[in-house]
Structure 1
Amino acid sequence: MASSRQNKASAPKQSSSGKSGGAANWRRNFERYMALAQNLGPHDDEVTRQSYYQHAEHYLRMMNDAGQG
């Protein structure tokens, strides 16, 4: 019995519309990753900066594919 309760508690949550946020989350994540990349100092890790830009680009593509970008 206890294990079935744990499975229900750990299930991913969705919004009432059945989607996991969609375009609003994509835009927020795009802006967040762009800010992270741009806020790194000139002596910070370039690999980290490029990783942030790649994450931002992913969300930009999601928005563009949905006609939101």
Structure 2
Amino acid sequence: KGVGHITEAWDSKFLAYQESAREVAKEFGAILIPYQKIFDNAQKNAPGAYWAADGVHPTLAGAQMMASAWMDCIK
């Protein structure tokens, strides 16, 4: 939040996409990694631009955080 070109109008659409992803994961018994929640929590430790400079695409630090979350889920 507060980084790049993400607006409140985009948030409402994104919430619908997240809900759809949860439903599909549940239906097929797939693991769903809550990346948005992970990135939101990470902003307690560093500004959003540290994790995703444009608010969408992860930086190296953001990609590492995503990889760590993925590894935690498949262990």
TM-score normalised to structure 1 length: 0.35
Q: Which has the larger radius of gyration?
A: 1
TM-score normalised to structure 2 length: 0.33
